[in-house]
Amino acid sequence: MLGPGANAFVNASGDLRAAGNGPEGEGWRVGVAHPRSPDDDVAVLVVRDRAVATSGAVKRNWRVGAERYHHLVDVRAGRPARSDLLTVTVVADTAESADVLASVVFLLGSRDGLDLAQAHGADVIGIRDDGRIVTTPTLAAVAA
């Protein structure tokens, strides 16, 4: 936990916690990369005293024959989850909740996942497998 008045940014393999107003006083700027074009951002978030985590099936995946697998497993089926989302970025109060919610939102899919995140006070930007960007209402204005 960062103390009062902290102005810090901690990035742990893409999951991060931003405290304070950042170097220019407006908050910390965090790009949300497009999963199919990682050099292009679909949005730039301005984050103060919040955490950001991204989860999805794009980076950690492999093929066995013609079948593609990824690391997010639906334990009910015992196999990689099927989702209409490629990636999910969650903004939440803590890094732990952002990380867990990013995975759960991915597993639930765009409709139920975004509802769950909102119920927990978090915001979401998701990129669906059809390329469409979906967001919770608070982040709708920042998505490209």
Confidence (pLDDT) at 36: 83
C-beta atoms surrounding 59 within 10 Å: 13
Residue 133 lies inside a defined structural domain of this protein:
yes
56 domain-assigned: yes
In this predicted structure, what is the pLDDT of residue 15?
87
Nearest CA to 56 out of 12, 136, 110 is that of: 110
| pLDDT tens per residue across span 106-125 | 989 999 999 999 999 999 99
Measured between alpha carbons, how far is 110 from 117 in angstroms, rounded to an integer?
A: 10
Rounded CA separation 37/18 (Å):
25
Going 63 to 65 to 67 to 69, the CA torsion angle's sign is negative
Is 131 inside a domain boundary?
yes
Enclosing H/E stretch for 101: helix 95-108
Q: Which residues of the chain register pLDDT less than 50?
A: none
Domain that holds residue 43: 8-139
- Report the pLDDT value the prediction gives residue 65, as an integer from 0 to 100: 74
Q: Is 89 in contact with 52 (CB distance < 8 Å)? A: yes
CB 42, CB 127: distance < 8 Å: yes
Q: Is residue 134 part of a domain?
A: yes
Whether 43 contacts 52, CB under 8 Å: no
Task: Say if 1 falls within a structural domain.
Answer: no
